[in-house]
Structure 1
């Protein structure tokens, strides 16, 4: 696979960053690492219910397996158990990018992708109020590393992987050297705690051993409990924080994609410690909750209309909606240019976010940059016939999945843009980076799936019939 070195200007100096579709050589990594210095911006912006928001994700565990683990039960006893929290897709990568940008963008694989600069993320929302943010990726070799992976250098086992690093996948972050240096590793996490340089928002990803991907729930939960117990001893991390512990997706694809999740931290009222919250949430809810807490605008995608965590909605006056989940699975992809499984449908167009006067969950409208970029593009709705769903991403299955006599398919919403750029000729199996067009849309090899409608109105289409 190709490798590329990007030179990005930062504070008057050239910073070498490797953007590679495979693991760079050790010499390349060492050369780039020698020029990069991590940055740790801080802020002190008051929120409605918390001052800091951190999330820690584990991997690929069914709800029943996680909820039955003794260490997960212990962690749940120290906070609020979210009994109705859902992942939004399979495999891993679409879930991670959903947490950053409010959309899975029809992604149904774990390949190397660069989502173009005109797609906004949580970083853009936080920047509107100068709220500091960062990421901590265990064993990433240096700040802002853009390689596909970085193996354990002793046994060459899986270690850091790009697909679990949501913000680096977006060019709005990756093309900005200053932003890149805010994506660091766990050594930098402990340094930032020690030096009181923690951001107010952070995404924390363990490596492929500690997150259960290459191990199991027992190993990962033992690791996570020890990690949390150490973090709890640091008041600057814990005392005013809301901490989400969750999983990216279920291990088994055909079942309902509900994942065991816990809220922890000093921001939780004492009377709620050890309780459960049965409200319907998804990975989009963490975005909507952050927006509500700091009175930020929405990205106009699935974060607009998502339920917000109840302890925040109680303080904002927002009423969460109830959802009948008896036929809800959230285990299939939408239609778009990142749909690469053999039974997924390809489309070369991008879906536009909402750009009107919607209030969204937090009641603070749509990010102005989203309106400026996408507002000129008129979305149309084209509900197409469903196509078979590959029930195990990456495997060539010969027949659609059948459950209780019902054949299961992918999502049926194919929202297209008027006025997008023309196709750049990439095939559905290409992993080339999409190029932004002058109209503000992206051409061909990017993302699509659906316009972010109010979830309550769109829920019938999320269940697979």
Structure 2
């Protein structure tokens, strides 16, 4: 893929937006790259507190009530733990995927072709501190590391793979590194990694636009999911100490709360918890925090810093999660930032500074490169909060949260 060079302006802690323009590769270019680009499948065996592998599978745009009522999702919930209080963090899709990798939306309120500057860290940088293997699996991605805006079904020309549903490729710290790019693969590569027992310890899965419910509905997607995951749930190699999060990027009715139905399954879920519910307040940021707590990793210093940790992990660390009053909480839009186009937030040219001096909910401080990059700067937001808010723009100000052993505090 050809793109104009991007420039960074200002100090390291105030990185301005990169303007990315792209000419989509031709079918012949894609075919040539597919013939020569080899996937990279590193393996590792770093022991965690609650799981040794963590996989998340994302679906699209379904209201909580509709997902919770689906027969196939109810069956999957009976095989694990239903998370009944997990929230997406914005609309539309792409800011949620962005948040899942980098702990922030950066004001994104659109599904545009986005690039996040290379000095903004991601969950990959956290995993790399302990050489924990990782991958991203995108159904029908034409070749490892493809950076195009989309890739249509070559028979029907219907939507298939889309860049906006690929969180890691949004970050130049990954997209500008050829080895990292080759770890963004397709489902055929996943099947090969499974058969060769070369699965990573962390992975993000996105089905295509048909199977993820975006262009269909929850009945279709849940039926596909059950047929896809059922053989995996009986595969000893896949299941061994593995935790799988099945979730959605956002709800479908923007005026609702953006609560999304989610399920934890896998060999890391104790049998006595099968068919149970976890009503703890979580967001997409909780996933990064939980991964950090499980493997003793630092924080990105963004919204993962104060996020609640999955109880299955928190119970092993002694961390006490916060109770959050969601009565007036709104997670349907976001705060100002450089990736906004003015639809659900306001544009600001300044990239937010993370917190650098905090233990964070995982208890292991902030990533060293983040502390070095943003040394002697003030964090833009109170990233130690269990939910995002912004005092300057008034976003989510006045909502209530408390640690279970503390009195209520107003944020």
Partners of 2:207 and 2:22 in 1: CA distance: 21
Partners of 1:182 and 1:131 in 2: CA distance: 13
1:31: Cα distance to partner? 1.8
CA contact (8 A) 1:328 1:462 kept: no
Partners of 1:462 and 1:290 in 2: CA distance: 27
CA contact (8 A) 2:303 2:388 kept: no
Flag structure 2 segments of 5+ consecutive residues without an equivalent: 6-19, 399-411
What is the DSSP-based 3-state SS (H/G/I as helix, E as strand, rest coil) of the residue aligned with 1:298? coil
Work out whether 1:369 is the aligned partner of 2:369. Answer: yes
* 1:411-433 per-position Cα deviation (integer Å, ceiling 9, x unaligned): xxxx4xxxxxxxxxxxxxxxxxx
Partners of 1:213 and 1:225 in 2: CA distance: 17
Partners of 2:378 and 2:302 in 1: CA distance: 15
CA contact (8 A) 2:147 2:163 kept: yes
For 2:224, the equivalent position in structure 1 comes to 223
CA contact (8 A) 1:138 1:186 kept: yes
CA contact (8 A) 2:53 2:242 kept: yes
Partners of 1:100 and 1:328 in 2: CA distance: 23
For 1:208, the equivalent position in structure 2 comes to 209
Partners of 2:372 and 2:280 in 1: CA distance: 34
**Bigger Cα displacement from structure 2, 234-243 vs 62-71:** 234-243
* 1:54-76 per-position Cα deviation (integer Å, ceiling 9, x unaligned): 00000000001101111111111
Work out whether 1:378 is the aligned partner of 2:378. Answer: yes
Alignment of 1:16-415 (within 5 A): 21=22, 23-342=24-343, 344-356=345-357, 358-379=358-379, 415=380
1:346: Cα distance to partner? 1.5
CA contact (8 A) 2:3 2:23 kept: no
CA contact (8 A) 2:88 2:258 kept: yes
1:32: Cα distance to partner? 1.8
**Bigger Cα displacement from structure 2, 344-353 vs 240-249:** 344-353
Query: Displaced runs of 4+ in structure 1, greater than 4 A?
Result: 456-462
Partners of 2:88 and 2:344 in 1: CA distance: 21
Partners of 2:374 and 2:228 in 1: CA distance: 41
The one of the two structures with greater contact order (alpha-carbon pairs below 8 A, sep at least 6) is 2
Q: 1:452 aligns with which of 383, 389, 397?
A: 383
What is the DSSP-based 3-state SS (H/G/I as helix, E as strand, rest coil) of the residue aligned with 2:321? coil
CA contact (8 A) 2:307 2:384 kept: no
CA contact (8 A) 2:306 2:385 kept: yes
1:5: Cα distance to partner? 9.6
Partners of 2:151 and 2:388 in 1: CA distance: 42
C-alpha RMSD over aligned residues? 1.9
Partners of 1:347 and 1:451 in 2: CA distance: 18
Evaluate the alpha carbon distance shift between residue 360 and residue 147 of structure 1 in structure 2; reply closer, same or farther with a 3 A threshold: same
CA contact (8 A) 1:351 1:451 kept: no
Partners of 1:281 and 1:301 in 2: CA distance: 15
For 1:13, the equivalent position in structure 2 comes to none
**Superposition TM-score, scaled by structure 1 size:** 0.79
CA contact (8 A) 2:334 2:344 kept: no
Work out whether 1:463 is the aligned partner of 2:409. Answer: no
What is the DSSP-based 3-state SS (H/G/I as helix, E as strand, rest coil) of the residue aligned with 1:32? helix
What is the DSSP-based 3-state SS (H/G/I as helix, E as strand, rest coil) of the residue aligned with 2:215? coil
Evaluate the alpha carbon distance shift between residue 462 and residue 234 of structure 1 in structure 2; reply closer, same or farther with a 3 A threshold: farther
Flag structure 1 segments of 5+ consecutive residues without an equivalent: 7-18, 380-414, 416-449
**Bigger Cα displacement from structure 2, 210-219 vs 323-332:** 323-332
1:342: Cα distance to partner? 4.5
Evaluate the alpha carbon distance shift between residue 313 and residue 121 of structure 1 in structure 2; reply closer, same or farther with a 3 A threshold: same
